[in-house]
Amino acid sequence: MGKVDGELINELQDRLIGMAAKSYRIANNLPASRVAAHVSSQLNRCSTSPAADYAEARGSESRKDFIHKMKVCLKELRETFVWLKLAKELELGSGPELDEAIAEADELIGIFVTSIATAKRNAKQLKL
């Protein structure tokens, strides 16, 4: 792996950590209500998972293991996206931080979709 690849990997890890921190701040600022408490709890769970799961993927034992762990990251990112959108739709939160978090989750989803497709394609080429 070249320096550029390593920098991209570290940048992605940093973005995932940033996404988790931003989601925590958003969840912490939701109003005091039963609905907001539920959204906050779900958001805290799913938004912190991708950073840890990606760290595991980086240390995967095989290409198959890597793809599996990347799919887990993608699943949690999609869930994060939904909870952020729901918070906005229910008017539990608003403002630039929520909009930025929604946009960042959407971008990260795209990155993981592409990475998984590339890893699958590379795995097939190795089998040829």
pLDDT tens-place string over residues 54-65: 999 999 999 999
Q: Quick one: three-class SS letters along 9-76?
A: HHHHHHHHHHHHHHHHHHHHCCCCCHHHHHHHHHHHHHHHHHHHHHHHHHCCCCHHHHHHHHHHHHHH
pLDDT at 94: 83
Q: Is the pLDDT of residue 31 over 80?
A: yes
Q: Are the C-beta atoms of residues 67 and 123 closer than 8 Å to each other? A: yes
pLDDT value of residue 123: 86
- Overall number of domains in the chain: 1
Range of the domain at 67: 3-127
pLDDT of residue 5: 63
CA distance linking residue 62 with residue 84, whole number of Å: 33
CATH value at residue 44: 1.20.1440.60
Give residues with Cβ within 8 angstroms of 60, minimum separation 6.
66, 68, 69
Instruction: Tell me the whole-structure pTM to 2 decimals.
Output: 0.89
Instruction: Lowest mean pLDDT of 6-10, 19-23, 68-72, 115-119, name the range.
Output: 6-10
Q: How far apart are the first and last CA of the chain?
A: 23
